[in-house]
Structure 1
Amino acid sequence: MTIGFDIDHPEVLDLPAPPPRAVVAPEPARIAGVGTAVTPESYTQQEVLDLFAISDPKIRSVFLNSAISRRHLTLPPPDSGGNRASEPQGDLLAKHARIAVDMGLRALRSCLDDAGAGLADIDYLCCVTSTGFLTPGLSALIIREAGIDPSCHRADVVGMGCNAGLNALNATAAWARSNPGRLAVMICSEACSAAYTFDSTMRTAVVNSLFGDGAAAVALVAGDGEAADGPRVLSFASHIITDAIGAMRYDWDGDQNRFSFYLDPGIPYVVGAHAEQVVDRLLSGAGLPRSAVNHWVVHSGGKKVIDAVRVNLGLTRHDMRHTTGVLSDYGNLSSGSFLFSYERLLGEGVVEPGDYGVLMTMGPGSTIETALVQW
């Protein structure tokens, strides 16, 4: 009961309490479209070895046993003697700005075409990159170059590495869910050619054998404007392996006077050992066993990383076919790799309504990110 007061009859009145209001949870965001882009030039691993005249048998073995057939790269031009030298850090930053914006714009247009939307429909833009530092960020440059409404909400995720695509997808899906009917877009644009160091060390050989240039974009919308056939983004789960925080990093190399990647040889085993923990936590939140997952979309982190994840999760090679296919055709594309695999999955036409999918990325931290989706 609630207490009321009547002016004509000032005695206290007992009034019935109003019925409780039903709390309606907002609809999850759906993936409405996806698009990808790469740089124009691509090379086989043998061609890269030849271009840089790499003869060390150990380094050649790293390249040729990487399970990578071809990668898109933007290499420095040859000098007068036909040699390709490392570029100064300033040139690399300029290369990153040029390539990341160009690829990002092309991936964005492809994504919007897939979603049946236009630039004027974008209300939120989140841009992800780890291969260079820009201020103003990639989002501002893309908004200017594309002619997107300057009042568009935006965010930049910088320096989180290969796992960052799912970190940003989490934020983008949350914005879409909070703003039903409005289009949110995430772009991952990684100009990995702008983060290479060329020397004779095994540290750089591992990195130089692995990464390629690529960008991917995904559009999300919730509520009345949702796409009927796009999967709903249900939940996320994350795990940082703090004992291995330095196993993957991009930091200053004083010998080279530039930033460079470092990848610890033990990464595959560290990631594999923790994969079950985070995936099972993701699925338990929805009351699902691992066997309920119909589709696995995993970051193409490298041959040994992929094998470690597959074995520890009890997956088949067929489950990981798109992950290994993207690795073979493009190398490791950093934060956008999983969206290249997602695009291939959709292209197969095998997804059925009600199917569950797990998206999974791995990167510095060392970090494993996961998301549960349902068509």
Structure 2
Amino acid sequence: MGLPMTVDAASTRITGGRTQAADSPWFPSSPYASSMAGVGSAVSSTSFSQQDVLDAFDISDPRICSIFLNSAIQRRYLALPPLGEDGTRLPEAQGDLLDKHKALAVDMGVRALRACLDDAGAAVSDIRYLCCVTSTGFLTPGISALIIRELGIDRHCARTDVVGMGCNAGLNALNAVSNWSMANPGELAVMVCTEACSAAYALDSTMRTAVVNSLFGDGAAALAVVAGPGSGALGEPGRPRILKFASCLIPDAMEAMRYDWDREQSRFSFYLDPQVPYVVGAHAELVIDRLLAKTGLLRSDIRHWLVHSGGKKVVDAVMVNLGLTRYDVRHTTGVLRDYGNLSSGSFLFSYERLQQENVTAPGDYGVLMTMGPGSTIETALIQW
């Protein structure tokens, strides 16, 4: 169904059914805007300080201890391997880790989704589209089918599983969810990012695994999205519209972040190249400039920055290259401190804290930024 197109010489921009003065704030051409209607989060049941984790695995190598204790992380939620009779942690085969992923990812995902629905003032019966994101295990059928069964969601609910894209995947999924919402105005879509990082651990004495094991934690976050005319969602003020996305793939750094098979340990193992922070930082301006292109907005117009809690060096690199302050990334560093890197759902934990802080004002612009394997930077522009 087409919308009338209006053009008024050089003084207006072409929009769907509306005109817009060239010097007025930019907005998307669709008559509908998808909005972030509610958010919720959940973690696994036990948390550990960095020293607790070192003690749990009897790690004393000063190089590895330094990585853990200088990570800007205080605590993480983890499901550590069970204790043996001698008090040491038992090894977990890849099959055990896949079982752990299934149990944790579904449990956390269900609880995050329920919290999200409560925040949105919606019910399970309102869900029409469910998109689930995970990179810490592989399941067929996917997390979406398991959550639909667990919660009794309508069997006709449309669904998508985004698997294996890594820490950036939350924004890749949000792009799809936002588009579905605009194609189905008034219908509720929910995205669930659920990462059982405890199920992605490889335990050995190498520096490769030490970096990974010092960083990631278990967590799930859910976001409700609905499209309607104008701003806001479900009739509630303070819910930002999703305006635009921009991506940047860095082919030269394709191998810098990867989750592949470790033949020596017969399990999957994650690898992070030490150059990752600098690669991400060097490309941050490029993708932000692309995000803001043709909007009439400057970087200084962005009031709220929600950056993936990828690690201390990654956050510092993004700050330096974008000219951000510690205040700008306070929720990013706060989530890193309290939870570690939660992979695809990290930025939603930061968004939840921002919403709880109650400092946003109508008209404020925000930027969401995630980064992960590819190497990839994903961004989104939102407005309250």
The TM-score with structure 1 as length reference comes to 0.94
Runs (4+) of structure 1 exceeding 3 A deviation are 20-24, 224-228
**Structure 1 Cα separation of the partners of residues 274 and 202 of structure 2:** 18
Q: Establish whether residue 215 from structure 1 lines up as the match of residue 215 from structure 2.
A: no
The one of 244, 268, 275 aligned to 1:266? 275
- Per the alignment, residue 301 of structure 2 pairs with 292
Q: Establish whether residue 101 from structure 1 lines up as the match of residue 106 from structure 2.
A: yes
Q: Establish whether residue 347 from structure 1 lines up as the match of residue 347 from structure 2.
A: no
Q: Establish whether residue 330 from structure 1 lines up as the match of residue 339 from structure 2.
A: yes
Instruction: Report the CA distance between 1:85 and its aligned residue.
Output: 3.1
2:120–2:234 Cα contact (<8 Å) kept: no
1:202 partner amino acid: M
SS of equivalent to 1:63: helix
The one of 90, 97, 101 aligned to 2:95? 90
- Mapping for residues 1-375 of structure 1, pairs under 5 Å: 23-24=16-17, 25-223=30-228, 226-229=234-237, 230-375=239-384
SS of equivalent to 1:28: strand
Instruction: Report the CA distance between 1:280 and its aligned residue.
Output: 1.0
Instruction: Report the CA distance between 1:100 and its aligned residue.
Output: 0.1
**Structure 2 Cα separation of the partners of residues 34 and 134 of structure 1:** 25
2:140 partner amino acid: T
Instruction: Report the CA distance between 1:215 and its aligned residue.
Output: 0.1
Number of matched pairs? 356
After superposition, the C-alpha distances for 1:115-164 in whole angstroms (9 at most, x for unaligned) are 00000000000000000000000000000001000100000000000000
Q: Residue 227 and residue 365 in structure 1: after superposition, are their counterparts in 2 closer, same or farther (change >3 A)? A: farther
**Structure 1 Cα separation of the partners of residues 40 and 295 of structure 2:** 29
After superposition, the C-alpha distances for 1:67-104 in whole angstroms (9 at most, x for unaligned) are 00000000011111111133000000000000000000
**Structure 2 Cα separation of the partners of residues 227 and 129 of structure 1:** 31
Instruction: Report the CA distance between 1:372 and its aligned residue.
Output: 0.1
1:120 partner amino acid: S
SS of equivalent to 1:49: helix
After superposition, the C-alpha distances for 1:299-354 in whole angstroms (9 at most, x for unaligned) are 00000000000000000000000000000000000000000000001111100000
The TM-score with structure 2 as length reference comes to 0.91
Instruction: Report the CA distance between 1:227 and its aligned residue.
Output: 3.9
**Structure 1 Cα separation of the partners of residues 75 and 343 of structure 2:** 16
SS of equivalent to 2:59: coil
- Per the alignment, residue 23 of structure 2 pairs with none
- Percent identity of the aligned residues? 71
SS of equivalent to 1:102: helix
After superposition, the C-alpha distances for 1:259-301 in whole angstroms (9 at most, x for unaligned) are 0100000000000000000001101231210000000000000
SS of equivalent to 1:223: strand
1:106 partner amino acid: R
2:236 partner amino acid: A
**Structure 2 Cα separation of the partners of residues 58 and 365 of structure 1:** 28
Instruction: Report the CA distance between 1:171 and its aligned residue.
Output: 0.2
Instruction: Report the CA distance between 1:190 and its aligned residue.
Output: 0.1
Instruction: Report the CA distance between 1:28 and its aligned residue.
Output: 1.3
* CA radius of gyration, larger in: 1
1:253 partner amino acid: D
1:337 partner amino acid: S
**Structure 1 Cα separation of the partners of residues 43 and 294 of structure 2:** 36
2:123 partner amino acid: G
**Structure 1 Cα separation of the partners of residues 296 and 250 of structure 2:** 25
1:30–1:227 Cα contact (<8 Å) kept: no
Instruction: Report the CA distance between 1:21 and its aligned residue.
Output: 7.0
Q: Structure 1, unaligned stretches of length 5 or more?
A: 1-19
Instruction: Report the CA distance between 1:180 and its aligned residue.
Output: 0.5
**Structure 2 Cα separation of the partners of residues 217 and 78 of structure 1:** 32
